[in-house]
Amino acid sequence: MALREIVFDTETTGLDVMTGDRIVEIGCVELINHLPTENNFHVYINPERDMPEEAFRVHGLSEEFLSDKPKFAEIAKDFHDFIKDTVLIAHNASFDVKFLNWELDKAGFPKIKNDLVIDTLAMARQKFPAGPNNLDVLCSRFGIDNSKRTLHGALLDSEILADVYLELIGGRQTSFMLSNDQQNDSDGEDWEATRVRKPAKARPSPLPTRLTEEEISAHRVFLGELKGEMIWSHYMPPEPGEEADQDQTEA
């Protein structure tokens, strides 16, 4: 069964939905088995309020430009149907989800469930704990072209974030690879079976035991008191003299 994920971003009038800030743009990029499909969802939204200057400097969406765009309630069903029961991926996801859940609830639709949300900011912080981990820095780290990102835009940022997400999970080549035959029949296959896993490397020599001689002797006494042959005995180091006897037998 194919894995469907949606990378998304929003633009807003400000930082706090509880003080009246609203969503003005939503951009979603669909991934199937970690590959973009070009089945995207993108809409500008009339926030039914003014546009603060500081927000305009971030995304460049003016009150005049948004005045004839649909209100969230008018696009809520299409948006809900597009994301329904799908894993959602965003950078600093709690911010976007907070706004979307407020709007969805107001429009009478179910809120986004936390267990369906992946936060790439949290992933990046785990991978690069020293930071910073904003989208521009991650693009630089992974060699992703973000030259068109002169202003924040929900769809463009989602497209860039999709590339960043693939790098965070291991890259296109290492996380997902199909032969030509598999590509033609991928819809009927388990996507997990198509992951390329590197074989584990064997340790050249076993790690030395941390047990003391006293602890080993005490354990031997304990095993000697048990009835029958115990599997643990096969993993005990040989007693002095046993190793030499074994070498002579094998020779």
Extract the annotated binding site.
Answer: 9, 11, 54, 59, 157
The two three-digit tokens of residue 155, written as one number: 């769809």
Distance from C-alpha of 67 to C-alpha of 47, rounded to nearest angstrom: 8
Residues at the annotated binding site for a divalent metal cation? 9, 11, 157
Distance from C-alpha of 32 to C-alpha of 137, rounded to nearest angstrom: 26
Distance from C-alpha of 26 to C-alpha of 158, rounded to nearest angstrom: 9
Q: Are 13 and 49 in contact (CB under 8 A)?
A: yes
Q: Which residues are catalytic?
A: 152
Residues at the annotated binding site for substrate? 9, 11, 54, 59, 157
Across 204-243, b (16+ Cβ under 10 Å) vs e yields eeeeeeeeeeeeeeeeeeeeeeeeeeeeeeeeeeeeeeee
